[in-house]
Structures are given as structure tokens and as C-alpha cells.
Structure 1
Amino acid sequence: MAEITASMVKELREKTDAPMMECKKALTEAAGDMEKAEEVLRVKLGSKASKAASRVAAEGVVSIHISADGKVGSMLEINSETDFVAKNDDFLKLAADCAALIATKNPADVAALSALALNDGTVESARAALVGKIGENMSLRRFVRVVAQGRLALYIHGGSKIGVLVDVVGGDEALAKDIAMHIAASKPKSLDATGVPAELLETERRIAIEKARESGKPEAMLEKIAEGTVQKYLRDVTLLGQIFVKAEDGKQTIEQLLKAKGASVASFTLYIVGEGIEKKVTDFAAEVAAQAAAASGK
């Protein structure tokens, strides 16, 4: 049997918010496998037991640029160590300059973007100079460039912490803006079911079966229950399946809205600053001890 350490329990607790004893039991049942333990907790405690995938732990901003003719758009995430720096005017200007360069120069990746000319040097030299001036590290994390098939719309929310760039074919400007706002609010993972990984659906199906079994449902009903759960999951995580946030009847889906307007979504990208990045958790007592040791020359 794998040894379940206090640090493992603490890690699972931080990932899931589940009670410590439940975390220990789950790790024991999963023989120390962290991912399996999360699944065990989801079966026992529900979907709220897993928050790791959407944890936001880094600072920074999302910057969006759309060309004057509306044909090309770009969106960039640039990270900083603190929210204070993320509000700095020079930092925000660097983000905006980089977003514009992405739209006009079409770099292949972050390395290519960093090598592009900016002011009297390059993007990288401008970044390095700003790091030296502010005294805090910052990095260009990711970007997307879109050539419009229809109409580009953007939405920035929460002090530039959430950004959306969407390409809507048909409809009008108001519709495109509404779709962008909806994406920021509802955070779909993909446009439709074809964009959801099969392994993710299989995990949802497996968890649904185990939850139904533990609740005493007959074996003959488990597959039907699981299928219903998977379909609900798809409605929740796909843009077309979601209920439009401004639906007057509270029932109209994005797919129904688009059909009524004679429109479609060609593509969308949603960035949430720091998504998937976990900050280093500092042991305050250990940090103080280390600083004291350094001060005493030990």
C-alpha cells in the first residue's frame, strides 16, 4: 500500500477544497494516485470537489487588437508577478504594442514575437528593460491571431483579466458583441461537442455511473443515467449548447439565437489570466527563518 503523507493530503485539499479526512480517504482508496483521488472525491462529494483545472493563480492582463478594417484580430496574455504591476501604464503599453504587432506581423510563436522590432530594439529588449525598471519579472505567455470570416468582436472584463475574441458570420454588430459577452460570462470550453475531448467525456460518464451506483440506482439504469449526465455536461461546456445569458425566457440557447439571426460562430478564443498556472505557495515560517539565517550570515 502506498504511503499517504501529510503533504499529499494537503495538496489534494488545496486542489479540491474537500475536508482533510475525505482527502486522506480518497488518497488511500486511490493508492496515492492524485488524479484518481480527485475522481474519488467527485464521486463522493460532487463536481465542486475539483477546481484545479480552472485555478487562476498568476497576475497580468489580456490585451486585444482589431485592425482598422476589422479583418484581423489578435489577443495576447502577458503575465506579471503582482497585480500592482499589471496596472502599470508601461506594462499595459507593452501589452497593447505586442497585440498590435501580432495582428500586423503574424509571428509564429512567442519566440518569434519576442524577436520582432519594437521602438529602438525588439519586443524582448523592451520587456527586459521594463523588468529592470520595475524590478519584477514578466512574460509573454500566449496569443492568438484571427483572420475574420465574418465580423470580429471583443470583450474585456474584470480589469483585463478575462478576454474574448470571437468571429461571427452573419448577424449584426450587436449580436457579435452579445456573443462575446456571453462567452466571457459563461466560459464555454468549445464551440460544440466535436471540440470536447473524448477522454473528458469518458471521465464524466464513469463518474456519473459510480455516483448513480453508490446512490442505489439499478444497474440496468446506470448507462442511461450516465448518458443523460454527459449530455447535460455538453450543454454546460459548449457555446452552442449554453443558455444565452440575456435570454428573455431563460431558455434560448446560443444555437437557437444564432439560427434566429441567420448567423454562426466561425471561431472564438477565451483567455483568463493565469488559467492553468499555479503560484508557488510560500511557507511563511520557513521564509522568515531563511531570511533570518541569511541576515546572520549562517
Structure 2
Amino acid sequence: MIEAHALIKRYGDRRAVDELSFIVKPGQVTGFLGPNGAGKSTTMRMIVGLDRPTAGTVTVAGRPYREHTAPLCQVGALLEATAVHRGRTARNHLLALAQTHGISSRRVDEVLGLVGLADVARRRAGGFSLGMGQRLGIAAALLGDPAVVILDEPVNGLDPDGVRWLRDLLKGLATEGRTVLVSSHLMSEMAVTAEHLVIIGRGRLLADTTVSDLIDRVGVGSVLVRSPNGADLRDLLVRHGAEVTGVEPGLFQAAGLDAATIGDLALAGGLAVHELTPRRASLEDAYLELTREAVEYR
């Protein structure tokens, strides 16, 4: 379990993290989301002791990361995929890490196979693609068979097959009872991978909730409307505050009004309606609505 309490990190007069508190529980994948500059990477660095909080505390399994006698066996982290010695082979990179904790070479070969790098284990990491570098970083995170796994943007550089592999891996780790914290900007992937979300903006907590509950806050994203009186109905809905996007003649998406209201307006206006199909908001819709005022770089 990861527990952050009233975390603050200042750089000069700027608060990168501002009174941030949350808990990441075992047995589920927790997505760590927020706009660029929100403080996600800084928070992750504080969790693993690379940055010291200005104030507040963060613990892993009840104690600060630096107090664990074998941290690789407690917390596995990927914060920067390119943080490898480019002249070392993939296997030697992992061996160097393993020797700091008395981890066997058998485990090194095991995690290389797990991430799909067994065939290139003796190639130098400097020649790896971004996706291969991500796989090597994930292998390093899993090397100590840790109870807690922290990954910062692990999908970057992965092809579709790699994305699906990572999704299954994360779910599998959570099923085993591990604590899994993953940051990502890919809302479509978080929607099918994460069960819980911690969302921050400008260093502050915006939401600590499940994916479904966050989406339910937004409700219906839009309504697909089909009408032989498309132009007239479109104008009517716009006058009542709807945002209308055309799909094809007589068919459009209307946001800002629910299906019942659209139907009532059409009836009152004497306009025929052949279809009203509500579209539930996506995680991306809900996330953008929640973080609208927290986006620092537009």
C-alpha cells in the first residue's frame, strides 16, 4: 500500500505538489492522471525517495522507501525508460541491479523472458527502440518480485501488441494482490486497465474515485439525433443551449441536452424525430471536464 499525507513540494515560490493526500490499495490497478505539469512525476519521485518532500509524508508498506532494507524487493519502479547504461547489454543492466540485492541470475533471465526480451538479452541497451527500452525498464521494476509496482507512462513507444501485453500484465499483478500505480495520458487505455483513479491538477487532488463513478458524474455525453427535419431541429436545439455537431444530413450529435428534453422540444416544434440515442460519456470526456481549470499549458 502507498499512503501520501499532505505532501508538499516547492521549487522556489512554486508548489509542484500542494497538500496532496491519497492511498493506493493493493489488489487493483490505480491510474495516476493529470495534465502536463500537474505534479505526477514529482509525486512518484517522492514515493521512491528521489525527491524529498518540502512537507508531508509518503510511505510504502508503512514506512518511507529509504527505510526498506531491500527496496527492489518491496517497490519496483519505472520512472524513466532511458535511465540505463547504453553500453551495457540488457542482461548485464539487470544483473548489475540484481547484485545489489542478492537476486539470482535465474531471476534476471526470468524477467527478460516475461517482458519479451530474451532474444535480445545480449544486445546493448543503447541500440534499443523506445518500446524495447520500456520493456527493459519494466523488467527492472519486476526484478525483485515486489509487492508494489510504480510505472510512469509505461505505454510510450509500445506497439498495439505491446500495449495489450502491458494491460494484461498490470491486471495480472493486481490479481496477485500487488499494489499497482500507473500514470498515463492515454484515457482509452486507462478506461480498460485501471479500476481506481487518482487525478491531480496543479499539484492538488481533483478526484480519488473509481472509473465508473467518475464517468457517472458527467452522465450522458451527447445524443445521436436522426430527423427528416434535421436543419430545423438543429437550429431549435442550438437556441436552447445545445452544442451540435453534424454527422450527415438529417443526423447529428447534440451535447448539453438529454434525450427526453430533445424529444419534448421536437414535439413542441412539430418536428419529426426518428432516432434519439444517448451516448454515455467516456473516461476522456469525464477527465477533460474535471481538469478543465487545471490545465497549465494550453
| TM tier relative to shorter chain | under 0.3
TM-score relative to the length of structure 2: 0.24
- Could you say which structure has the higher helix fraction? 1
Larger RCO, structure (CA 8 Å, separation 6 or more)? 2
TM-score relative to the length of structure 1: 0.24
- Could you say which structure has the higher strand fraction? 2
